[in-house]
Amino acid sequence: MSRTSFFVLLVFIGLKSHAQHSSVSFGIYTGLTASFTSDDGIKKDPRYEGRFEAKFAPVGVNIGLDYETFGIMLSPGLINIGQNFYVVNTQGGQDGMRKIDLKYLTVPLSFRIHLIHFVTFKLSALASISPSFLLQGKESIGHQATKLDFPQEVYPILPPNYTIEYDGVLAPEMSNLNIAEKKDFRPIQLFAGAGFRSDWDPSNFWRISVDLRVNYGLFDPRTEQYTKDQESKLSLYQIHGQRREFFAQFTVGISRYIEFEKSEKERKKKLKGTTKKYRPTQYPGQRTRQSRPKD
């Protein structure tokens, strides 16, 4: 991570040396995530029904560099993602919950184009790539005593206290059965994101930002070994299928920013060819030559 930060710092410095008007900002943010788990196995399993809810994205820090038309940002932070599913009985009633909980330290690097750029307000479109490091991972299921539509291929492995009937299987109460643990999830994930960001400067030093973006996980969040094991054996509460994680992220942040004016050399170039006369900045104690130089 230190190498990534050093590289980003070099990029910032290089861009600063070639750009005109710019500002650097440092701040913190917090927000919410709304997750969607696309799992081919869950889609075709009648025992589960999707549930949508928001999860807290506790805190992050933001380092930004903005120019007149574009900007770049590095905004490491913590996120909680993973969709939860209702366990539904043969009549469609909700009798339990299947939970997917993933917590990452994510390091989004974003590039933004300013669509609207006023003195105190900016609206930008952005794209990001986010290396993410797994901190916690768990998938579990729990339900009350109910009748469920188990796939017929798992009937041979049903425990003795599961009763097969003509329209389903009577299942006893199940309390937090672990389907997957942290070791079953990839330690590193990569998210690609896109969205919009607005910045409002209420003073010459402070900036308030609102960010909304959608992120897509490029890899199945589970390890290759775990998916191979699922393909090779029957599971009581899971039909194997490929999985991807999506999440929408809404954040609000506050930053301290510093503006850098255009250099005199750049302003001189801009004035060239106009009727305005370029006058260099005067400093205390500086004298202006009054006579012509000698040959």
Condensed to tens digits (0 to 9), the pLDDT of residues 152-162 reads: 999 999 999 99
Using CA atoms, how far apart are residues 185 and 256, in angstroms rounded to an integer? 37
Using CA atoms, how far apart are residues 102 and 87, in angstroms rounded to an integer? 20
What pLDDT score was predicted for residue 15?
Answer: 45
Encode 32-45: b = buried (16+ Cβ within 10 Å), e = exposed: bbbbbbebeebeeb
What pLDDT score was predicted for residue 193?
Answer: 98
Encode 71-85: b = buried (16+ Cβ within 10 Å), e = exposed: bbbbbbbebbbbbbb
pTM (two decimals): 0.81
What's the distance, CA 210 to chain centroid? 14
What pLDDT score was predicted for residue 289?
Answer: 53
Give me the residues of the chain with pLDDT under 70, please. Answer: 1-20, 261-295
What pLDDT score was predicted for residue 280?
Answer: 57
Using CA atoms, how far apart are residues 36 and 27, in angstroms rounded to an integer? 29
pLDDT tens digit string along 226-245?
A: 999 988 888 999 999 999 99
- Could you give the domains of the chain? 2-266 (2.40.160.20)
Strands 109-117 and 206-217: unpaired
Closest listed residue to residue 194, CA positions, set 214, 223, 169, 173: 214
Strand partners, 101: 138
